[in-house]
Amino acid sequence: MLICPVCQAPLSEADGGVACEAGHRFDRARQGYLNLLPVQHKKSRDPGDNAAMVEARRRFLDGGHYAPIAERLAQRVAELAPATWLDIGCGEGYYSERIARALPDARGYALDISREAVRRACKRAPQMTWMVASMARIPLADASCGVLTSVFSPLDWAEVLRLLPPGGVLLRVGPTREHLMELRQRLYDEVRDYDDEKHLAQLPAGLQHSRSETLELRLPLAEAQDRADLLAMTPHGWRASAERRAAVIEAPLDVRVAIRYDWFERQQ
């Protein structure tokens, strides 16, 4: 199932980690995750979200603010009943753990390029295989995943095609143009619109968009810490001015959460 990120040969258990026949070896951290991101595949020393960003997201999600998003995702994946599934860009593991709970008999894998994120994620569901890895070089065998999930994460469509067998499904979760509108209105003089279906134009041959649905709810944020964490876990935390960010943290905020779920099926 696992393959070497250097030569793509199968990986087998070795002392304290995994290795391939060519001699490429990768350690298992004491927390339980595998580091399958070779130095030559990194674009920086510690790619991905840093510790502060990961902690902000952990506090916010563990506060239950996005629980309906996770619950619907887990329900929809459970309906597909895959034997093996992978969460791409798992972050600190909040959504992955919900899926694992809904699929107790399936083999679950999750990856993120951030070591800080995966270090925390693997504590949520030790029965899963957690990996620090690149989504452009996913260390899993061809056609090995019945379901792929991606929550607020970019995708490498070529890897999606490679990993899904015919009939396999990618379930993508992302924001609509209305998501966090009140927050964006406070942060920017002009809120830029975007096309909810822009990602559909990127579909490669072999993937078919089969279904979509949306989830909308109101989210009252009365605590300053919650507002600060929401800023820190979104791009708005570094795009907006310091003055506007401070103003958001100072005053209670009620925002719309508007999420789109898209199903993509691998064709024959």
41 is an annotated ligand-binding site residue: no
122 is an annotated ligand-binding site residue: no
**In whole angstroms, what is the distance from residue 242 CA to residue 265 CA?**
43
24 is an annotated ligand-binding site residue: yes
179 is an annotated ligand-binding site residue: yes
92 is an annotated ligand-binding site residue: yes
4 is an annotated ligand-binding site residue: yes
Residues 260, 179 contacting (CB under 8 angstroms) = no
**In whole angstroms, what is the distance from residue 11 CA to residue 1 CA?**
8
Strand 207-221 vs strand 12-14: parallel, antiparallel, or unpaired?
A: unpaired
Residues 227, 221 contacting (CB under 8 angstroms) = yes
Non-local CB neighbours of 23 within 8 Å, separated by 6+ positions: none
7 is an annotated ligand-binding site residue: yes
Burial class (CB in 10 A: 0-12, 13-18, 19+), 263: middle
Residues 34, 17 contacting (CB under 8 angstroms) = yes
Residues 113, 140 contacting (CB under 8 angstroms) = no
145 is an annotated ligand-binding site residue: no
- Tell me the binding residues for Zn(2+): 4, 7, 20, 24
- Tell me the binding residues for S-adenosyl-L-methionine: 66, 92-93, 179
- Tell me the binding residues: 4, 7, 20, 24, 66, 92-93, 179
